[in-house]
Amino acid sequence: MRTGQTYRLSGKVDSYLGRLVMRSPAWEPVDKEVLSTGRIVPVYPLTEGLNATWLRKIIKQAVDAWGPRVPDHLPESICQRAGLLSLPKALTQVHFPDNHELLEAAQRRLAFDEFLIIQLGALRQRQKWRAQTGRPLEIPAGWLDEFRSALPFQLTKAQERVLGEITIDLVRREPMSRLLQGDVGSGKTVVAVAAMWLAARDGAQAALMAPTQILAEQHHRNLTRLFASLSAADPDSGSNGRSKMPELHVALLTGNLRGGEKAETREAIAAGAVNLIVGTHALIQQDVTFHDLALAVVDEQHRFGVEQRSALRQKGYTPHLLAMSATPIPRTLALTLYGDLDLSVLDEMPPGRQPIMTRWLKPQERERAYSFVRRQVEQGRQAFIVCPLIEESETLDVKAAVEEHKRLQQEIFPDLKLGLLHGRMKGNEKDEVMQAFNRGELHILVSTAVVEVGIDVPNATVMLVEGAERFGLAQLHQFRGRVGRGEHPSYCILVSEAATGEKVEQLKVLEQTQDGFIVAEKDLELRGPGDFFGTRQSGLPELRWAKLSDIRTLELARQEAQTLFAQDPELMLPEHQPLARKVAEFWQGRGELS
C-alpha cells in the first residue's frame, strides 16, 4: 500500500481489545477495475504460487476477450421460450456477475444445458431401443390366474396395476424397457416373478440378476418353491383348449459354484433345459449363453453399473428388460435419469406389514438396546446387529463384526445363540448361517452391510445398527426394511455418537418417517446429487452445474427436450447442429443408458 493512495477493503469485521478490526481483508486501489472488493467475488481453487487476486485478473481478461465469441448451441427459440440468458452472457455473469439475479440466471442457463442434453440422450436411446424388434410373448388371460392361485396371499391393487402394465409390454413387438420402483417391502419381487412365470409359461427363458450371493440364493429358493407348486397345480395339461404347461426348472448361477457344477449349469442354460435362471454377475460372463432369453430382470438395479445391465440385456435377442429399485427417487428425477425407461411405481404396502418404530440411542445407552433385544428373544423373536466393519481397525474407532460377535457371545448374550455373517465368508458358509437364522436356530445375527438388501426373515423384529453415522440415509432405510416382515411389531435401533450436522439430520429423518420416498428426497437434499446418485450407477457424466434438487429447471429442460425431439429427433436441422455436437460430446464413449 502506498501513502496518498485510496483503497477499497473487503473482509470480516471483528473486535480486538475494544477496537474494530478487519482481519486479512482483500484490498485494491479504487482507481482500478473492481475484482475482489465491493462486488460479488468469484472464488477459484488455488495452488502453490498463485494468489486469488492475480487469478481473478487473468480469468477476467479471458472472459472479457473470449466470452462474447463463444457460439451458442441453443436455438434462440428455446432461449426465448424458456427465458434463458444467451451462452456468452451466462459465461460472463457466472464468473463476474453484476448482481445476484444475473448470477442465478447464469447458473440456471448452464444447468438447463446439462439437463437438456441428458434428456435428449435418454430420448434418443429410448427411440433406438423401441425401434428394435423384440420377442412378443403370447399370454392367454388365464395364465395370470394360475399364478395368483399359487400365491399364499392376495396381490395389492398397486401390484395388480403394475403387473397389468408389464403384461401389456410383454405382448408387444417392441421390447419392454421398464423401471419398477417401490419402497422396501412393497412387493416388487413377486411382480417380477409373475413376469418371469409368463415368459417361462410361453416356453422361453427368464433371468433374474441379483447384486449379492445371499440375495441370489434366497431368490432361487423362493422361486423353486413357488414354481414347484405352480407345476403341481397344472389343472388340465392341455385339455379344454389350454396349452400344456412346460416343465419349470430353476437354475442358480453364481461365482461360488464349483467348476463341474458351474459347467453343467451353463450347459443347461445354453441348451434350454432350464427356463428360469437366477444369478449374480456370473450371468453376464462371456461363457454364459442363453437358449432363448425373453425377459431379463435386474434386482436392486442401482447396485449395478450401466455396462453390467447392458451386458445382461445382450444375452438374448432384444429381450424385455425389467429393472427394480428399492431406493425410491422422486418421479421427476426418475423420468430424467431413466428417461429411456417406462416407470412403474408400487405406492402401496401389502396388508399386514408392521410399522417399524425407530429410535436413535447414544453409545452410552447401548445397554438399554441389549436389554430390549433380550426381551424380544425371550418372546420368541430374532434380531440383527449390524456393524460398519468386518475386523477391528487401528485407525477407526467403530464396531467390527468379528470382534463384536465374539464379545456379544461371551459377555452380553452367553446363553443365546449368535451367528456371524460378512462378505469375506465363503458362499456355502454364508448360506449355512442364513439358513440357520431363517430356521430360528440362531437368536441374533451379527453382520456387516451384507444384509442390506433382500434378506427376508419374518420372525426378526429388531434391527440394531452400530455406528449408524457411518452409513448413508438410504442404506439405513434398507437395513430397517429387513424387519417388520412378519406379524409382530418391529423396531430399528440406531446407535450413533453423531452430535451435529448432516448425520444428526439423517437420524432424525429415520425417527420421523418410514416413507422411502420422503427419505430419498431428504437424502438428496442433505447429500446433493453427486453422492445421492453416482455416475457409475446412473451412467451419467459428471454434472458441473445441474443440481438434481432443482426440480423447476429439470422439468423445464424435460419439456423443451420433448418438444425438440418431436420436431427433429436426429437433430439434423441446421439450427440444431451445434446442439447435436454438444449431445455427442456429452455422451461420448458411453453405451445405452438403461
C-alpha cell of 564?
425438440
Q: What is the pLDDT along the chain (594 residues), one digit of tens a residue?
A: 889 999 999 888 999 999 999 988 888 888 888 888 888 889 999 898 888 888 999 999 999 999 999 999 999 999 999 999 999 999 999 999 999 999 999 999 999 999 998 888 878 877 777 777 878 999 988 888 888 988 888 999 999 999 999 999 999 988 898 889 888 778 888 999 999 999 999 999 999 998 888 888 888 988 888 888 776 655 554 444 445 666 788 999 988 788 788 899 999 999 999 999 999 888 988 889 999 999 999 887 666 655 666 778 788 788 998 988 876 666 666 666 666 678 888 888 887 777 899 999 999 999 999 999 999 999 999 999 999 887 666 555 567 889 999 999 999 999 999 999 988 888 778 888 988 998 999 999 999 988 876 677 889 999 999 999 888 888 888 899 889 888 899 999 999 988 877 788 888 989 998 887 788 777 766 655 443 344 444 445 567 888 776 778 888 998 899 899 889 988 899 999 999 999 888 777 554 443
Per domain, the residue ranges of the chain are: 7-69, 142-171+187-325, 356-513
Instruction: State the architecture of 142-171+187-325 in CATH terms.
Output: 3-Layer(aba) Sandwich (3.40)
Tell me the sheet residues that pair with 86: none
Q: Say if 142-171+187-325 and 356-513 have the same CATH topology.
A: yes
Alpha-carbon dihedral sign for residues 39, 42, 47, 49? negative
Query: Which is nearest to 290 in space by CA: 264, 271, 309, 307?
Result: 271
Backbone angles phi, psi at 339, to 5 degrees: -60, -20
Q: Which three cell numbers mark 571?
A: 437433430
In whole angstroms, give the CA distance from residue 301 to residue 188: 12
Whole-number Å distance between alpha carbons of 278 and 282:
10
What pairs with residue 206 in β-bridges? Answer: 276, 295
Whole-number Cα distances in Å, 495 to 385, 398, 469, 507 = 10, 11, 8, 10
Q: Could you tell me the fold of the domain covering 356-513? A: Rossmann fold (3.40.50)
Q: Quote the distance between the C-alpha of residue 131 and its chain's center.
A: 27
pTM value is 0.72
With contact defined as beta carbons under 8 Å apart, do 298 and 209 qualify? yes
Q: Using an 8 Å Cβ cutoff, are 486 and 458 in contact?
A: yes
